[in-house]
Amino acid sequence: MKRILIFFLFLILNFGALALGSWLMGASPVENQWYIDLNKAPWTPPGWVFGVAWTSIMLLFTIYITVLHPRVVIQPKFILLFGVQWLLNILWNPVFFHYHFLFSGMVMIVLLLVSLLLLHHQLNKQFFNWRLLLVLPYMLWLCVAFSLNAFSWWAN
């Protein structure tokens, strides 16, 4: 029963972060003239890929949190690291899309990746374990996001 509650709590928190970040960025990228005119990386995926990627990532991240022992989610180090990644994930959207702070966006992605690595390291006795497979897509997508953000910063 505890795991089901944890699953739904973090499902709401994770998808809530996506919704809040989207709301804070203002116009969607397809309607944002600044983003349309931005010099983007040649490897920038089509817009629909972002929705599929983030939906998959947040579902896997919710499962990742759920399979941790229920006592883990009330530990201060978990709350801190989860909170940091949650806020960074939300705030990147307005920083990049609304304020156009490309370098700050890159820094935020690095901090987000570091917070995820620390979260995984702090909560697992062995870094390389099967649970890493659940959070690895999130980490890899952040690397892609960093490359896209870095190219935009460099090319604009």
Q: Region 130-138: what's the mean pLDDT?
A: 93
Amino acid 127: pLDDT: 66
140, 114 Cβ separation under 8 angstroms: no
Query: In this model, does residue 128 exceed pLDDT 80?
Result: no
Sequence-ordered list of residues with C-beta below 8 angstroms from that of 32, at least 6 positions apart, any chain: 25, 26, 97
**What is the largest distance, in Å, between two alpha-carbon atoms of the chain?**
51
10 Å CB burial of residue 79 (0-12, 13-18, 19+) is exposed
So what's the pLDDT on residue 96?
A: 96
- State the pLDDT confidence band at 73, using cuts at 50, 70 and 90: confident
The pLDDT, as a whole number, for residue 21 is: 93
pLDDT of residue 125 exceeding 80, the answer is: no
CATH code for the structural domain at 2-155: 1.20.1260
Q: What is the pTM of this model?
A: 0.91
DSSP conformation class of 73:
G
Burial of 100 (0-12, 13-18, 19+ CB in 10 A): middle
Query: Within the chain, how many helices (H) and strands (E) appear?
Result: 6, 0
